[in-house]
């Protein structure tokens, strides 16, 4: 497993921050029908059980919002990825289809309310630290131009910032060339159900992405 640590600055500001990690090799393809069907089933369950105004109260979404707000982020303007996907589903827009690895990431996020990030391990360099950004920090977002990442809990390697619960940098995005991944579950409520969530993510990666050489770790 890649060497990953949580910066003391983040733990001092939000003691319940915990990172669930899966590292493995995968085969990146178009998403199989079975995966898209599972996403649709979870989406329909969400539609039948929740209104848009209920999203921000969902346990793990609420925890993510609370941490980001404590760090100084305007959570009404900058939504975390789980919250944004929940809103798309309840607005009837559905989720974008990219590839099987991205779809597994999104499946677990929608199912649990956790924000996840999945990264091309070969695009990362050196030790990884989950830290807090200061004022005026931006990076190139996936499908976006410069993304404001100030006052967020952000993953950083020797090359710079590359991921956070709101949006990821293009540098380590999953493409058809990806062979090894690091999947991160951003937790802000302690360990709680994180082991169960990682087990489900492992199941989905094995089933839909031919995952092998799987390593799982929880960083507290």
Q: Express each pLDDT in 73-92 by its tens digit.
A: 999 899 999 999 999 999 99
Phi first, then psi, for residue 47 (nearest 5°) are -60, -40
Task: Report how far residue 214's alpha carbon sits from residue 24's, in angstroms, rounded to the nearest whole number.
Answer: 4
Label residue 7 by pLDDT band (50, 70, 90): very high
> Which two structure tokens, joined as six digits, stand for 10?
């983040």
**CA 170 to chain CA centroid, nearest Å:** 14
Q: What is the pLDDT of residue 138?
A: 87
Mean pLDDT, the chain, whole residue set? 96
Task: Report how far residue 42's alpha carbon sits from residue 38's, in angstroms, rounded to the nearest whole number.
Answer: 6
- Please, how many CA atoms are within 13 Å of residue 107, restricted to the half-sphere of its CB? 26
> Positive or negative, the Cα torsion across 54, 16, 125, 26?
negative
pLDDT, average across residues 24-49: 97
**pTM for this predicted structure:** 0.95
Q: What is the pLDDT of residue 146?
A: 82
Residue 141, classed as helix, strand or coil, is strand
> Which two structure tokens, joined as six digits, stand for 213?
């050489």
Taking alpha carbons only, the member of 104, 62, 107 closest to residue 83 is 62
Q: What is the pLDDT of residues 105-145, one digit of tens each?
A: 999 999 999 999 999 999 999 999 999 999 888 887 887 77
Q: Which option is the CATH number for 4-219: 3.50.40.10, 3.40.50.2000, 3.40.50.1820, 1.10.287.610?
A: 3.50.40.10
Helix, strand, coil percentages (3-state) for the chain, rounded to 5, are 40, 25, 35
Q: What is the pLDDT of residues 48-79, one digit of tens each?
A: 999 999 999 999 999 999 999 999 999 989 99
């Amino acid at each position: 497993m890649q060497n990953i640590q949580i910066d003391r600055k983040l733990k001092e500001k939000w003691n319940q921050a915990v990172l669930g990690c899966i590292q493995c090799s995968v085969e990146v393809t178009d998403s199989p029908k079975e995966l898209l069907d599972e996403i649709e089933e979870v989406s329909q369950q969400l539609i039948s059980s929740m209104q848009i105004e209920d999203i921000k109260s969902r346990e793990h979404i609420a925890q993510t919002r609370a941490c980001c707000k404590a760090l100084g982020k305007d959570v009404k303007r900058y939504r975390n990825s789980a919250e944004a996907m929940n809103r798309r589903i309840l607005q009837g827009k559905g989720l974008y289809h990219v590839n099987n690895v991205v779809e597994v990431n999104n499946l677990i996020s929608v199912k649990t309310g956790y924000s996840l990030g999945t990264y091309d391990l070969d695009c990362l360099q050196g030790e990884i630290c989950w830290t807090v950004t200061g004022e005026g920090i931006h990076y190139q977002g996936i499908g976006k131009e410069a993304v404001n990442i100030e006052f967020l809990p952000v993953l950083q390697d020797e090359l710079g910032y590359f991921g956070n619960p709101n949006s990821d940098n293009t540098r380590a995005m999953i493409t058809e060339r990806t062979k090894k991944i690091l999947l991160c579950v951003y937790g802000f409520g302690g360990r709680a159900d994180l082991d169960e969530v990682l087990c489900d993510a492992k199941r989905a990666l094995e089933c839909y992405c031919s995952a092998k050489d799987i390593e799982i770790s929880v960083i507290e």
